[in-house]
Amino acid sequence: MGDNLKVSVLQFKSELGNVDKNFDTARRLLDGAKNSDVAILPELWTTGYYPTPIENFADMDGKQTAEFLCAAAVKNNVNIIGGSTIAAVDGQIFNRCIVANRHGEIAATYDKTHLFSYADEGKVFTAGNKFVTVELDGVKCGIAICYDLRFPEFIRKLALIGIEILFIPAAWSLKRLMPRQILTKARAIENQIFVVFANSAGKSEIVNPLGEVIVEASTDEEILTADVDLKFRAEVISSMNLLADRNIFVD
């Protein structure tokens, strides 16, 4: 494992319900990220957020998405955080992130835990119930999806089990941009991790463990790329180790 991971955020606004076109866009952007170590897609990139009736747009067992991601990962020699898609599994529908490693293997799957009641997600999706980490090129990473960001105890649990980078695919409205920008910084600072936020609506960003924005996207389609310096994270922790200084009685 090196001290840096080259990370690319593939930001684009999907066309609602046009699955074929959205796959074509993702394919093109993934081809553009072939020199990266990790690429991340936004939330519900295959369909947009979100067409109804949702069951008509569900990927059965996530098979189509998984095959696409594995093939793209091998073609471009890149690990892919597969955003999220609508996955139908045993009669239930999940907002699911599939992670493919650069060898074309499914390395992890994560189902969105906190469903956004404002958009009635709980009426159409089943909530996930597992914390998910994945090791990519020797780096332990955590996965959250959009609304999960608002729940600090959820992200803290991922930090306590050792993640160095948190990847968050999202479809976060720019009407709520200010709180989101605060939340990504807060989660990075309090857990001393990198936060990579991939947003379909724009303003994606990568934030370092001091809460500093390394790079930020516009609101247009974009490949946003930066080096994640893991040595820098180690230096931050060595000067002030927040998790080590937690007073255990609060548990």
Among residues 110, 181, 104, which one has the least CA distance to residue 141? Answer: 110
Asked if the structure places residue 56 within a domain, the reply is yes
Confirm if 44 and 14 have CB atoms less than 8 A apart.
Answer: yes
Mean pLDDT by 10 residues, the chain (251 residues): 88 98 98 97 98 97 98 98 98 98 98 98 98 98 98 98 98 98 98 98 98 98 98 98 87 56
What local confidence, expressed as pLDDT, does residue 3 receive? 86
Q: How many CB atoms lie within 10 A of CB 236?
A: 17
Q: Is residue 251 part of a domain?
A: no
Evaluate whether residue 185 is within a structural domain.
yes
146 in active site:
yes
Q: Count the domains in the chain.
A: 1
In the prediction, which pLDDT does 220 show?
97
User: What CATH number corresponds to the domain at position 217?
Assistant: 3.60.110.10
Among the listed residues 43, 121, 164, 205, the single catalytic one is 43
Question: 194 φ, ψ to 5°?
Answer: -85, 140
User: Looking at the domain assignment, is residue 187 inside a domain?
Assistant: yes
Catalytic, out of 70, 112, 121, 164: 112
In this predicted structure, what is the pLDDT of residue 228? 98
Whose tokens are 């469903």? That residue is 115
70 assigned to active site: no
Q: Hey, what amino acid is at 3?
A: D
Q: Out of 146, 164, 185, 205, which one is annotated catalytic? A: 146
For residue 97, the enclosing domain spans 4-245
Q: What is the pTM of this model?
A: 0.97
Please check whether residue 6 is in contact with residue 35, taking contact to mean a CB–CB distance below 8 angstroms. yes
* pLDDT score of 250: 59
Active site residue 97: no
- The answer as to whether 219 is a domain residue is yes
The pLDDT assigned to 179 comes to 98
The answer to whether residue 127 is domain-embedded is: yes
Q: Quote the pLDDT of residue 248.
A: 77
Please indicate, yes or no, if residue 250 is contained in any of the structural domains.
no
